[in-house]
Structure 1
Amino acid sequence: MASSAARSAPAAPDQHITKIIFSSAAGTMIEWYDFYIFGSLASTIASKFYQTGTPLGDIIAWLAAFAVGFIVRPFGAIFFGRIGDLIGRKYTFMVTMTLMGVCTFLVGLLPTQETIGPAAGIILIGLRILQGLALGGEYGGAATYIAEHAPQDKRGFYTSFIQITATLGLFVSLGVILTTRLTVGPEAFAAWGWRIPFLVSIFLIAVSLYIRSSLKESPLFLRLKSIGQTSKNPLKESFTNPVNLRYVILALFGATMGQGVVWYTGQFYALYYLQNIFKVPLVDSNLIIGVAILFATPLFILTGWLSDRIGRKWLMLSGMALGALTYYPIYSAMYNFRYALDPLQKLVDAAGNKIPYEVNPNYSPVVLGVFVFIQMIYVTLAYGPIAAYLVEMFPTRIRYTSMSLPYHLGNGVFGGMVPIIGLSLIQGTGNNMAGLYYPIAIAAICFIVGAIFLKETKDVDITADI
């Protein structure tokens, strides 16, 4: 862990740090938008690329392609993290943003299975791999870049703006989907309108690249470079040094894997659960998640600020503990306010005619939204302080590489697999609550490991190693 010292990190002027935060956060938000637009449209277009014989099976196949992007994120973290520690933070996240934007745009142009057969799904997986690699390099660069400009006593506050970007990316993706659907109509949206959210991302990327192009390199990285202390082999230093490797392992099993499952349970799994288990209509389900996210977003800033005052460790661990203890009762209570009275009712009869669901008389989007918002509180507790925490665990010369790998393993693999594992457990067991066993177990294990082995980092001076 980076050592403590009396002196504090040199602070950028307020006007300068504001521009740094805005530029970094805006770009990262757009990358998350690109990444999550894929997942947000799952229930609409899964069958256009994968046809398994059942609607839930198509969703699971789509989520498998979605999960590929999560699985390769650690490889992107290693590859781009190494470049970031060798060449610089700014250059690296400019490259990752460009790669992400181009891949998302190409998804919007991709022919469906009806046109080119199974090749559509294969090409889609290829694009997801490139997206995952790009996102693996983006987060660590943006978080490191802001932290290395921030003053000692405001690092949690400033980096919390990066934490907002993942949630805002999901929120914007839901907003663009709803706006497009309401503009072109349900039938046109299902036929071709779903492509629009993918295509517009290229304009968002262009704007963000323009904004970021005016940024200068991180002052700590420039200082390292000027005195010849940049790492010659960041991968070797990060993962073969026993001391640093121990911190990488602790960051994964004591912080990021629990934070990852809490994030994806409270947002993505909740969305899929509403749509595929409770059969809540597309517009209603997106509004439920979107409004909950909107109200919860300021809490990321609050928890980041609070972590500068009382510490980061127990804020993060409290989010994991609350999730492990309350997910089961929350989803049990949500069942009473589901949309379809019989969620297993078939969509068509023997003659192929559509059968409308019998609506539950107790159906309440407001109550469902309150339960999602409660889960979002856990997300903000676990996620708000974690960027600052990870930055403070590792020395400047290998920070980009060292923090990126555990973050993307925890979020991309452990967290990103929550929806597909959850829905697969439900389909395999017939138990609508079975999907919660996985996030509950991971959050509980991470809480125990973190409580025993993690140290508080808020007083660490990240300049002390230079």
Structure 2
Amino acid sequence: MSSASGPTAGFTPTGTIASTTDRRRVVFATVVGTTVEWYDFFIYATAVGLVFGQLFFAPLGANSAIVAFATVGVSFLFRPLGAFLAGHFGDKYGRKVVLMWTLILMGAATALIGVLPTYEAIGVAAPILLVLLRIIQGISAGGEWGGAVLMAVEHAPKQRRGAFGASPQIGVPLGLLLASGVMALMAMIAPGDAFLVWGWRVPFLLSVVLILVGYYVRRRVEESPVFAELAERKEKARMPIITLFRKHLLLVFIAALVFAGNNAVGYMTTGGYIQGYSTNPEGPLALERGPVLWAVAGSAVTWLLSTLAAGFISDRIGRRTTYIIGWILQLAGVFLLFPLVNTGSIWLLFLGLAILTIGLGFTYGPQAALYSELFPASIRFSGVSISYAIGAILGGAFAPTIATALVQATGSTLSVTWYLAGMTVVGLIATLLLRDRSGIPLGPDHEAEQSVSPIYGLSKA
């Protein structure tokens, strides 16, 4: 790390002095990198809700939408593989190298989807190739989050981990904002059949430019100070994943449930469900594609602001208390969402999404700091990555598919509301099972303290 003196200097978790410039560079790099990654990931989900059922799964008729949404979920099944690989290599070789590779993998897969022929052109090979590329996106996403989180939190002073940790978190709403905005713009430039023919491809191809920007920014960031000290002491775990599951299996599961409660609800928009439900020409609303995309983009702004605010607030009142407030807000948003969406008004649709995203922000903003403070330094990358990946499977992986199936089976969105409410309550219960560890030392000198279980009723992990 660069040294500094005077009022602008501060201490990293390992005691090394870090300048304000170093920290700003880390925050900027994590925001840019995660925004690019999630733009790529969400562009796919948005396209599923709008065109992929028709272009790649048309022979399935009425089931094309369900199968198309299922391809969104398939990628989540491969997130644990990405998390296992990234966790293993991240704990052995560093956070930075993993982040460079996840960015490249995600960008390559996204750009290739942009040139992929449809079912009409090459038959069944089209959906097969689409799923394979989505799997690559899933592997990349599984490894991305943990590395970005640790780069931010492990560079932060302990009293500001929530604020620093919110920087990779806001990459999600920023990615959604960018994906929805670009898709909305293309819906204006290439309306109607032109959007089906070529308009949807442009946002995927733009990924090439964004990846180059993200790669350049990430190259300039120094390695996490916690990992640098582990490497200097030669205290890196040989088999971090085995250690994680042998000593911290229950903690991984509870941490995963915390994220699952947020992720299931969040994927109503990031998974493309609201976009598909509200614009379906054969559905009850049949709204225009462009205005719906702009409404989703607008809600991404409220999500961004609430996520950022929650990170700062968690530094004042603790991660656990911030989460509890968030679950209450999220539950209120869940019960308001479909009554407002089903009015058929674009403005009320936006209002429903905006209210929902306030709760989503409060149950997502503190997650980076919460997860980082749960696991010991030597296996932290594996712990946060795998918990996140499992939570994504239990929560958002098939949330759009489940919602679509529930509406088809019951004829009402009320069933979806109760499903989302149930997932929110699961997240709340998981949060209540964990002690607040805000401010716990993160460096390798404190492995013994970090290894004491944060789960109520347990003294050892």
TM-score w.r.t. length of structure 2: 0.89
Looking at structure 2, the residues matched to 44 and 32 of structure 1 have their Cα atoms a distance apart, in angstroms, of 19
Corresponding residue to 1:35 among 41, 50, 63: 41
Partner of 2:458: none
Partner of 2:355: 374
> Would you say 1:293 and 2:308 are equivalent positions?
no
> Would you say 1:247 and 2:251 are equivalent positions?
yes
Looking at structure 2, the residues matched to 449 and 196 of structure 1 have their Cα atoms a distance apart, in angstroms, of 41
Q: How does 1:209-358 map to 2 (within 5 A)?
A: 209-241=215-247, 244-253=248-257, 255-265=258-268, 267-268=270-271, 269-276=273-280, 277=283, 278-324=285-331, 327-335=334-342, 337-338=343-344
Deviation at 1:420, TM superposition (A): 0.9
Give percent identity, aligned residues only. 31
Partner of 2:452: none
Partner of 1:456: 436
Deviates more, 1:319-328 or 1:37-46: 319-328
Give the AA of the match of 1:457: R
Looking at structure 2, the residues matched to 120 and 266 of structure 1 have their Cα atoms a distance apart, in angstroms, of 25
Give the AA of the match of 2:166: S
Question: How far does the alpha carbon of each residue in 1:229-268 deviate from its partner, in whole angstroms, 9 at most, with x for none?
Answer: 1111011111112xx2232122123x11112123223654
Q: Equivalent residue of 1:465, what SS?
A: helix
Answer whether contact 1:156 1:305 (CA < 8 A) is retained.
yes
> Would you say 1:87 and 2:126 are equivalent positions?
no
Are the structure 2 counterparts of residues 318 and 9 from structure 1 closer, same or farther at C-alpha, using a change threshold of 3 Å? farther
Partner of 1:138: 144
Looking at structure 1, the residues matched to 328 and 181 of structure 2 have their Cα atoms a distance apart, in angstroms, of 31
Give the AA of the match of 1:427: Q
Looking at structure 1, the residues matched to 243 and 58 of structure 2 have their Cα atoms a distance apart, in angstroms, of 46
Are the structure 2 counterparts of residues 381 and 279 from structure 1 closer, same or farther at C-alpha, using a change threshold of 3 Å? same
Alignment size in residue pairs: 430
Partner of 2:4: none
Question: How far does the alpha carbon of each residue in 1:104-133 deviate from its partner, in whole angstroms, 9 at most, with x for none?
Answer: 111011111011101100111111111100
Gaps of 5+ in 2: 1-11, 448-461
Looking at structure 2, the residues matched to 181 and 265 of structure 1 have their Cα atoms a distance apart, in angstroms, of 21
Deviation at 1:325, TM superposition (A): 5.0
Looking at structure 2, the residues matched to 189 and 275 of structure 1 have their Cα atoms a distance apart, in angstroms, of 14
Give the AA of the match of 1:448: I
Deviation at 1:90, TM superposition (A): 0.3
Give the AA of the match of 1:273: Y
Deviation at 1:70, TM superposition (A): 1.6
Looking at structure 2, the residues matched to 428 and 12 of structure 1 have their Cα atoms a distance apart, in angstroms, of 57
Question: How far does the alpha carbon of each residue in 1:28-61 deviate from its partner, in whole angstroms, 9 at most, with x for none?
Answer: 1111011110111122232110024545x22211
Q: Equivalent residue of 2:412, what SS?
A: coil
Looking at structure 1, the residues matched to 333 and 34 of structure 2 have their Cα atoms a distance apart, in angstroms, of 31
Q: How does 1:166-181 map to 2 (within 5 A)?
A: 166-181=172-187
Question: How far does the alpha carbon of each residue in 1:339-395 deviate from its partner, in whole angstroms, 9 at most, with x for none?
Answer: xxxxxxxxxxxxxxxxxxxxxxxxx21122111100000111100101110001011
Are the structure 2 counterparts of residues 266 and 66 from structure 1 closer, same or farther at C-alpha, using a change threshold of 3 Å? closer
Answer whether contact 2:162 2:369 (CA < 8 A) is retained.
yes
Deviation at 1:72, TM superposition (A): 1.2
Q: Equivalent residue of 1:63, what SS?
A: helix
Deviation at 1:450, TM superposition (A): 2.2
Partner of 2:23: 17
Looking at structure 2, the residues matched to 444 and 435 of structure 1 have their Cα atoms a distance apart, in angstroms, of 14
Deviation at 1:326, TM superposition (A): 5.0
Give the AA of the match of 1:171: L
Answer whether contact 2:226 2:442 (CA < 8 A) is retained.
no
Deviation at 1:319, TM superposition (A): 2.4
> RMSD between aligned alpha carbons?
1.9
Deviation at 1:324, TM superposition (A): 3.5
Gaps of 5+ in 1: 1-6, 339-363
Q: Equivalent residue of 2:155, what SS?
A: coil
> Would you say 1:419 and 2:400 are equivalent positions?
yes
Answer whether contact 2:262 2:395 (CA < 8 A) is retained.
no
Partner of 2:127: 121
Deviation at 1:14, TM superposition (A): 1.2
Q: Equivalent residue of 1:422, what SS?
A: helix
Q: Equivalent residue of 1:110, what SS?
A: coil
Corresponding residue to 2:423 among 426, 433, 442: 442
Q: Equivalent residue of 1:393, what SS?
A: coil
Partner of 1:361: none
TM-score w.r.t. length of structure 1: 0.88
Give the AA of the match of 1:213: R
Q: How does 1:149-188 map to 2 (within 5 A)?
A: 149-188=155-194
Deviates more, 1:291-300 or 1:387-396: 291-300
Are the structure 2 counterparts of residues 461 and 207 from structure 1 closer, same or farther at C-alpha, using a change threshold of 3 Å? same
Deviates more, 1:264-273 or 1:453-462: 264-273
Answer whether contact 1:424 1:435 (CA < 8 A) is retained.
no
Question: How far does the alpha carbon of each residue in 1:128-178 deviate from its partner, in whole angstroms, 9 at most, with x for none?
Answer: 111100110000000011111110001100110111101111110111112
